[in-house]
Amino acid sequence: MTDIITAADKLACAERELKMRQRVYLRWIEDGRMSAGKAAHEIAVMEAIAADIVAAANLQMSPVVRSRKLPSGMTLFESIASGADGQKAALELVSMLRGEAERRNQLTARFTGRKVIDGMSDDAPAIFNE
């Protein structure tokens, strides 16, 4: 096989595996074949694998980003765990983060060179020119 396996392919596979495990583990818990604790651990491992895939794609998954809520009100991994399309959720998160970074850069450029008002910290942009 000569196909290139992309990070998106890996993330989609991890997402399918996570959804399958959630369904199967629920039945196994009900049948007494697996403890709830073991199931939670295994699902956490799959979520970590998905996080590694995102990180390998050069997306920074800091704790702040990992806990960042999507418009649905859930984090990326909560969204995947609930059955949402993981690739779509990840792209939505990336789009949000890029938009925020662009707006921060625009504000930084806008306030560059402004005089700092006495009493303000050096890292706070001044909002008035004197």
The C-alpha atoms of residue 105 and residue 100 are separated, in whole angstroms, by: 9
- Say which residues have a Cβ less than 8 Å from residue 50's Cβ, sequence separation at least 6: 11, 14, 15, 18, 77, 80, 86
Over residues 68-113, the pLDDT tens digits come to 888 889 888 778 777 777 777 777 887 888 888 889 889 888 888 7
- Residue 121 is predicted with a pLDDT of 62
Q: Is the pTM of this model over 0.75?
A: no
Extended strands (E) in the chain: none
Does residue 18 contact residue 46 with C-beta atoms inside 8 Å? yes
Tell me the domain boundaries of the chain. 7-111
- Residue 58 is predicted with a pLDDT of 65
pLDDT at 126 over 60: no
